[in-house]
Amino acid sequence: MNGTGPLVSVRNLKKEFPIRKGVLSRQVGAVKAVNDVSFDVARGETLGVVGESGCGKTTTGRAILRLIEPTSGEISFEGRDVRSMGTSELRALRREMQIIFQDPVSSLNPRMSVGAIIREGLTIHKLAEGAAADARVRQLLQEVGLRPEYSNRYPHEFSGGQRQRIGIARALSVEPKFIVCDEPVSALDVSVQAQVINLLEDLQRDHDLTYMFIAHDLSVVEHIADRVAVMYLGKIVELATADDLYREPLMPYTQALLSAVPVADPKARKERILLQGDVPSTANPPSGCVFHPRCHHPAKDAACAALVPPLEEKTPGHFAACIKQPPTTVSWEQQKEAGGVHPPERYLPLAAVHA
C-alpha cells in the first residue's frame, strides 16, 4: 500500500501503567494513560494533539513509535502492522518515523559534538559514511539555519532555540516520512518559538513530511495544524479541522479550554468558562463521560455519568464525544433509561470563545 490511505492509522490504542504497592509489588490498580484512542494521520498533513498535563498526548505519540509499548490496540504505518514488528523491522521503521522532543537540553547527549549527534542516525541506518556523511551533516545544519562549522561544537554552547534546531536536524538526517513533534516549542521564548515553527513548516513543504504535533499551547496548534485532536483523561474528546474546531468547538471541554487562553488584547473583554476543580486522576477516571464532573453543558444529567459517549461525527468531518450535543447515536430513550432528564440540545457558548 503506497500513496493512498492514511500514513498512520491508530485503532483502540490503550496504554496502562500498573500501580504497585507493598513489598511484593502487587498490582493494585492501573493508570489508564491512553484509553481507547483511534485516529488516522493523512499523508502530508499536520495533526495537532492538544490537552492538559496527564491527558495522554505524549504517551500516544510515543506509543506510535513504540518508544512506549502499548497495552493493546492497533497501529499501522503505510498499512504495515507496527505492533507485531520484531527488533530489526522496528529499527528499519524508525528510519521512517522520527521524534523531536520538548526539552532541547536533556534530549542531546552533552558529550557528543553536534556533528556526531546528527551523524549517529546516518551510521546506524548505513545511509552515509566518511566524507559523504560529513557533507550531509553540513547540509543538514544549513537546512535548519545553523552554520555548517558548528558541527564540532557541543550542545552546551548553543541557546535553547539552536538546540531545538539540532534536534530537528537529527530527526531529518534519516529522511523520515513522519515526525512526532512533542511540544517542540514550549520551552522556547516567544520570539524564538516563531523561528522554529516557521522552520518546521518550511521543512514539511520541502520534504513532504507528515507531522503529529503535540502541544498544550492552543494558539500554536491552530497555526500549524490542519486537523486537531483534543485529549482529556486519556481519551480523544473532539477531532476536527483546525478551522472548525476553533470556530465552533462542540465538546464543552474544548469550549472551556479555548476560553481560558489569555488574549493579548486588553480590549477583548471576554466571558470565560471557568472550570471547577482539577483534572481527576487517570488511575480512577470518572464513569461515563470522563469530563462530566466538571462539565458546564446545561443539559448535563445522570446519563452523562452512566454512558460512555462515543466519538461521533456531529457535522461532516467534525467528531465530538458528547451525548448532549446533537446529533447523537445515543438515543434519548437510552439516555432516559440511564437516568437522563434533559434531552440533548445544541450548546455553543461561542460568544465566550471568540470575543
248 binds other proteins (CB under 8 A): no
The piece of 33-41, 204-212, 218-226, 233-241 that touches other proteins (CB under 8 A) is 218-226
* Burial grade of 274 (CB within 10 A; 0-12, 13-18, 19 or more): exposed
| Choices 99-107, 205-213, 217-225, 328-336 (CB under 8 A): range interacting with other proteins | 217-225
Establish if 139 lies at the interface with other proteins (CB under 8 A): no
Q: Could you say which of 192, 302, 305, 308 contacts other proteins (CB under 8 A)? A: 192
Closer CB to other proteins, residue 33 or residue 275? 275
Contact letters for other proteins, residues 300-319 (x by CB under 8 A): --------------------
Residue tagged 486522576 (cell numbers): 281
- Of the CA atoms within 13 Å of residue 161, those in its CB half-sphere come to 15
- Choose which of 31, 75, 118, 146 interacts with other proteins (CB under 8 A): 146
Using CB under 8 A as the binding rule, whether residue 57 contacts other proteins is answered as: no
Q: Which of 3, 110, 130, 262 binds other proteins (CB under 8 A)?
A: 262
Span near other proteins by CB under 8 A; candidates 23-31, 191-199, 296-304, 332-340 = 191-199
Which of the 8 DSSP states describes residue 151?
Answer: G
- For residue 299, which of 323, 329, 272, 271 has the smallest C-alpha distance? 323
Q: From the CA atom positions of the chain, what is the Rg in Å?
A: 22
Task: Count Cβ atoms within 10 A of the Cβ of residue 280 and give its class: 0-12 exposed, 13-18 middle, 19 or more buried.
Answer: middle
What secondary structure letter does DSSP report for 265? Answer: -
Binder of other proteins out of 22, 88, 190, 333 (CB under 8 A): 190
- Under rule CB under 8 A, residue 152 binds other proteins: no
Shortest Cβ 249–other proteins spacing (Å): 11
Measured from the CB atom, is 218 or 303 closer to other proteins? 218
279 is an interface residue for other proteins by CB under 8 A = yes
Q: How far is the CB of 338 from other proteins (least distance, A)?
A: 27
- Judged by beta carbon, residue 71 or residue 195, the one nearer other proteins is 195
81 contributes a contact to other proteins by CB under 8 A: no
22 lines the binding site for other proteins (CB under 8 A): no
Distance, CA of 353 to CA of 254 (rounded, Å)? 10
**Contacts of residue 87, Cβ cutoff 8 Å, sequence gap at least 6:** none
Residue 110 touches other proteins, criterion: CB under 8 A: no
The C-alpha cell 486537523 sits at 227
Residue 221 has φ and ψ, to the nearest 5°, of: -65, -40
DSSP 294-329: G---TT--HHHHHSPPP-EEEETTEEE--TTSSS-S
- Contacts with 103 (C-beta within 8 Å, 6 or more apart), sequence order: 187
Interface pick for other proteins out of 132, 263, 348, 351 (rule CB under 8 A): 263
Least distance from other proteins to the Cβ atom of residue 49, Å? 15
Instruction: Please state the separation of Cα 278 from the chain's center in Å.
Output: 21
- Minimal distance, residue 139 CB to other proteins, in Å: 15
Residue 253's Cα: distance from chain center in Å?
17
Give me the least distance between CB of 187 and other proteins, in Å please. Answer: 10
50 backbone dihedrals φ, ψ, rounded to 5°: -120, 160
Note whether 26 binds other proteins by CB under 8 A: no
Tell me the closest approach of the beta carbon of residue 68 to other proteins, in angstroms. Answer: 22
Angle between helices 160-172 and 190-207 (to 10 degrees): 10
Question: Where does this chain bind other proteins (CB under 8 A)?
Answer: 52-53, 144-147, 150, 153, 157-162, 165, 189-195, 197-198, 201, 216, 218-220, 222-223, 242, 246, 256-268, 272, 274-275, 277-279, 354
